[in-house]
Amino acid sequence: MKRIYMDHSATTPVDPLVLDSMLPYFTEKFGNASSLHSFGQEAAEALAIARQQVADSIGAEKNEIIFTSGGTESDNLAIRGILDKKNSDKGKNQHVITSAIEHPAVLNTCTFLESIGYDVTYVSVDSEGILDVDELERSIRDDTSVISVMHANNEIGTIQPIKEIASIAQDNNICFHTDAVQSMGKIPVDVNELGVDMLSISSHKIHGPKGVGVLYVREGTDLEPSIFGGGQEQTLRPGTENIPGIVGLGKAAFLAKERLGHDPEYMNNLRDSLITKVFDSIEDVRLNGHPTQRLPNNVNLSFKYVEGESLLMLLDIKGIAASTASACSSKSKTSSHVLNAIGVDTEYIHGSVRLSLGRDNTTDEIDYVTQSLQETVAKLREMSAVSKC
């Protein structure tokens, strides 16, 4: 049976060019980048090239790139790094502003911060997932130290007005962080164009390896590290660097930038065709998220009278990999905080699926997925009608 992967927001396959670039650093080029001998220098050179590749892909300087273990660590380091620095400088209470629909890497960091005495404001979003910028502006206080709003949402794909939020943060002298884990490679991500102070990237969402990421930190932004050790990554993220992973991320970032002229438009067409075909063939369905301000690869649908988990399992039997919400929350039984925040009705919310497209999906696959959705939704509705009798 043919397998169709439509869960690229959870993770992406490693690009063969990325894998090729990494392999020598597992074998003959295994040096520690801090060692003075030629093995070490080889690793240090690879690290420098990868840093430049990532910097070039987002319009940054290479000294502004901090390699981490992924998006989660980058988000933690950004928010806690600012608060810890200000605390050690001034020792005053502080306030954080974020949105109600952030990834758990930000939301659970904020929950923890609240548990140790910080104040957090969760700004609401409208029914299409766009942040209420006026509410954000009104929530700014004298002790607001950091604002963190994601560039694009991982569940519904809505793209936020980051430039506008960055300018508000700047006018109020507040550090602004954005999580660009889902937007990287799908829409242009340029730190100066966006006006952000910090930005998170994860390698495995852009056809790179898992377990490596970046926090962009604008020069002059003062952070406290979360862990302590040697002097690597300007002491912000000490520990022997994951050279193969970093080399892979550098290559993936380079390719993502290079393919920006083609991949997003291709995925955009597939996305719109899938949405149109589903709406033409299935009744009682809604599209979650913004109709146009959305990632080119995101389709998030809710089917009335259907249970999302059952739909996923039946799609899996037909060879189709999709997801109910984000991969991280799909194992928890609670309904999505994002769909709740945009006000999806209870009769729809449990029948939600996310199909996140990739550059290797085809129009034939879109047809097969539409057909499978039509059959599966009909079957589940029939079963739920029978079970209600």
Ligand X SMILES: Cc1ncc(COP(=O)(O)O)c(C=O)c1O
Catalog residues that contact ligand X under the rule CB under 6 A. Answer: 70-72, 75, 103, 105, 150, 154, 179, 181-182, 202, 213, 326, 328
Q: Residue 16 and residue 19: Cα distance in Å, rounded?
A: 5
- Angle 268-183-133 (CA atoms, 0-180°, nearest 5)? 105
How far apart are CB 179 and ligand X at their closest, in Å?
A: 5
* Closer by beta carbon to ligand X, 71 or else 225: 71
- Of 110, 175, 328, 389, the active-site residue reads 328
- Token readout for 37 is 């001998």
* Closer by beta carbon to ligand X, 31 or else 245: 245
Q: Residue 217 and residue 164: Cα distance in Å, rounded?
A: 19
* Closer by beta carbon to ligand X, 195 or else 209: 209
Are 169 and 140 in contact, with CB atoms under 8 Å apart? Answer: no
How far apart are CB 15 and ligand X at their closest, in Å?
A: 17
How far apart are CB 180 and ligand X at their closest, in Å?
A: 8
What DSSP string describes 86-132? Answer: HHHHH----EEEEETT--HHHHHHHHHHHHTT-EEEEE-B-TTS-B-
* Closer by beta carbon to ligand X, 47 or else 106: 106
How far apart are CB 350 and ligand X at their closest, in Å?
A: 22
How far apart are CB 337 and ligand X at their closest, in Å?
A: 13
Are 256 and 189 in contact, with CB atoms under 8 Å apart? Answer: no
Query: Over the Cα atoms of the chain, what is R_g?
Result: 22
* 110 labelled catalytic: no
* Closer by beta carbon to ligand X, 245 or else 308: 245
Are 18 and 255 in contact, with CB atoms under 8 Å apart? Answer: yes
- Token readout for 183 is 């937007």
How far apart are CB 364 and ligand X at their closest, in Å?
A: 28
What's 160's DSSP letter? Answer: P
* Closer by beta carbon to ligand X, 159 or else 366: 159
Residue sitting closest to ligand X (CB): 71
- Residue closest to 58 by CA, chosen among 191, 244, 168: 191
- Angle 51-145-183 (CA atoms, 0-180°, nearest 5)? 45
Q: Which residues are catalytic?
A: 328
